[in-house]
Structures are given as C-alpha cells and as structure tokens.
A and B are shown apart, each in its own frame.
Chain A
Amino acid sequence: MMRDVSAGIAFCKEVADKDPLHCRLTVAAIANTLLEPEGLHFLVVGGTAVDTYVSGALGTSESYPARWQESLDIDAIPLRFLSGASREEVIPLLEPHGFVPGATRSSLRHPDIPYPIDLVGYGFPDDYSPDHQVTLYNETWEELTLRPVYLAGAEDILFDYLESGVDTRHQKDWTRALAISTAMLEDLDLDYLYTKAHWRQDGALVAWLDKLMRGEPLRIGPGLRPY
C-alpha cells in the first residue's frame, strides 16, 4: 500500500497546477486508502465538493457561468462506518505517510501537495444524509489501487451554502448554492431539500430555497458581503 500511496502523491504533485480539482480529489482518495484499514473514511464537503458538482467533471451537468473562486483546500469530515470520528483518530494514520500539521489546528498538508486537508465538522456527521452521498470512481485511482472518494450529497452541500448565505449574507455562499442548483437541478432530491429546510423551522430559509430553485440572481439583499 505504501508504494501506491507514494505513487498517488507523486501523481498529485504532477497534476496540481494543471488540474487542481483532480489533485484535490486524489488527495481524498489517498486519505481514504490510508484510513480504510481502520474502518475510517473522509466525507468531502465544502468548496471541493461544490467544484466537483459544478465543474461538469461528472458529465451530468451544465456549468453555471459566474464569477468563481475555486476552493484551495479539501474540507473533509472524518467518519467511521456508522458514526463520526475524531481528528485524533485519523491524524496518526496519515502522518506516517508524510502528512504534517498545517497552518491551522485542524489542517493537515503534505509537503509535495499545495492543497491542505481541513478536518471539519466531525461533531455533525448526521447533517449529511448517507443516502444522498456520492461515491466517485476514476480510472487513475483504480490504476493506483486507491480507494474511491466519498462526497456529501449535492443536496446537503447546496443546503450548507444556502443556510450560510442566508445567515451571513455572503455573496460567495449564494453563488455556490446557485451554481449547484443550476448544474445539478435534474438530479436533486427536492423533497429531501424542502424537508430539511422545514426541519430548521426557519421560514426565511424555505423562502430562499424557493428563490434558489427559480435561479434568481446573486443578490441576497442589503448588506451583501462581496466576494
């Protein structure tokens, strides 16, 4: 396995500049390969998940043409098969393979790869429906005998940015939510999305979800924070 992981890291280094998204996803595949023997894996959330859903990389989507800022890290939730896991459980499994503490307490990076892994939200794995998660396979990963990548569902990622956008009035959040809804519209489980919005018991959230589904412009309202 050591040899495959080393080859995976070399591959990441090679494609880091010309294909950043593939590099970031390959980092997640490497991490899953190292974590799986202990029954752990990463669930990729945040900007890298958005970029994957929106970029057309899945071959299922029209992109959303907008001002765009690509993610610069891999937000990952460490999970066990049926529950959340802690950072302390995963870090010792990655460090022997060259991963070192990053700029923040929750981040890890490999010296050869420009994209750090940010360990996030391990207290809230239930926010991400297992049924809506997505497993990604890729030929390169199979050749390198790396494990697949697990992404939080497009619905949950969209919801994260919708909720954050409504709370923070940050245009970047709204742009990302709108991009996912545009790119993945035909594949979204709308029943699940609306149910989740109603569970929050926040009428504004449901109203903004409606706006999102209608593809309304990138304006949340007064006090919008710029990109």
Chain B
Amino acid sequence: MANIRVPDFLLARLKEAAPPGVPLAQVIAEALEMSGGPEVVRARLTGTPSVARARTARLRSMDHRSVVLEPGQQVALAEATRDYVRGQASRRYDPVNRTLSVAIRPTPPRRRYTMIRGGPRA
C-alpha cells in the first residue's frame, strides 16, 4: 500500500466513520486503488478545489440514488470519500467490476414542510 499522509483531523473522522469491522487501511486502499494513486487522494482529501465542490453539490442533489463511479473518475470518488468520512454516504466496492457504489444521503435534513398528524377528516 502506498504511503500517504492523512491529516490528523481527517484520520480521526475516518476512524469514527468507518463501519465496524472494516479496517481503516482498507478504506484508504480502496480509495487509492480507485483513484489512480496517492497524489490524487492526498490532493482531494486535503483540499477542496472549486470543481470538486461543484461535483459535491451535484452528488448531494441526487439523494437516494446510487452513483456508480467508473475507475478514473477521481474527483467524484474523492468527494464521495469525503462524504463517507462525514457519515453522509455509504459505499460498496465491487472488486470484480472495479466500481464503487455510493449512496448519498441528503444533507442536512431540510425541514421544508411543517407536518401535522391528521388530515382534514381526522
């Protein structure tokens, strides 16, 4: 596995967000494998280029949909990884097809409607 430097705050959040039983190294290794190399992952994990921000916004607008990322979609993967770190996405790596399924949760709850139990007939 490549040796990459992950900032301490990010490491702490990765540890919190990693599902039970999944080693942290595996999470990072998957990200590395999918994204093409440590440089890309490091760049995306430590910074937030405007392009990545835009892609994040687009991903978040796709609530409840699985996004299948093809190998080479580095920016999207890194952003998905960041969402994963924040606990806002769940992901599943398919080693056979080398694709990563990411389910994005809506962020944050929007509370756009006031809900009252009972309809007009109640």
Listed in ascending order, the chain A residues whose CB lies under 8 Å from chain B are 18, 22, 25, 41, 43, 52, 54-68, 70, 79, 81-82, 130-138, 150-151, 153, 179
Contact = CB atoms under 8 A, between A and B. Distances in A.
Contacts of A131: 117-118, 122
B63 interface: yes
B109 interface: yes
Contact of A65 (B64, B113, B116): B64
Interface SS, B side: loop
Interface SS, A side: loop
Contact of B119 (A56, A64, A135): A135
Contacts of B116: 134-135, 137
B99 interface: no
A137 B113 contact: yes
Nearest to A125: B121
B75 interface: no
Contacts of B103: 65-67
Nearest to B107: A56
Interface of B: 61, 63-66, 89-90, 103-106, 108-122
Given A56-B105, A63-B105, 6 more contacts: A57-B110, A65-B89, A65-B90, A136-B114, A137-B116, A153-B117
A201 to B, nearest CB: 27
B65 A136 contact: no
Given A65-B90, A65-B104, A58 B111 contact: yes
A61 B106 CA distance: 10
Nearest to B68: A67
A62 to B, nearest CB: 7
A131 B103 CA distance: 34
A81 B122 CA distance: 10
A136 B65 CA distance: 25
Nearest to A52: B113
Nearest to B117: A134
B115 A135 contact: yes
Contacts of A52: 113
Contacts of A55: 63-64, 106
B64 A66 contact: yes
Nearest to A53: B115
B83 to A, nearest CB: 11
A28 B122 CA distance: 19
17 contacts: A25-B113, A52-B113, A56-B108, A56-B110, A57-B110, A58-B112, A63-B63, A65-B64, A65-B90, A67-B66, A130-B118, A130-B121, A133-B119, A133-B122, A134-B119, A135-B115, A135-B118
B84 to A, nearest CB: 11
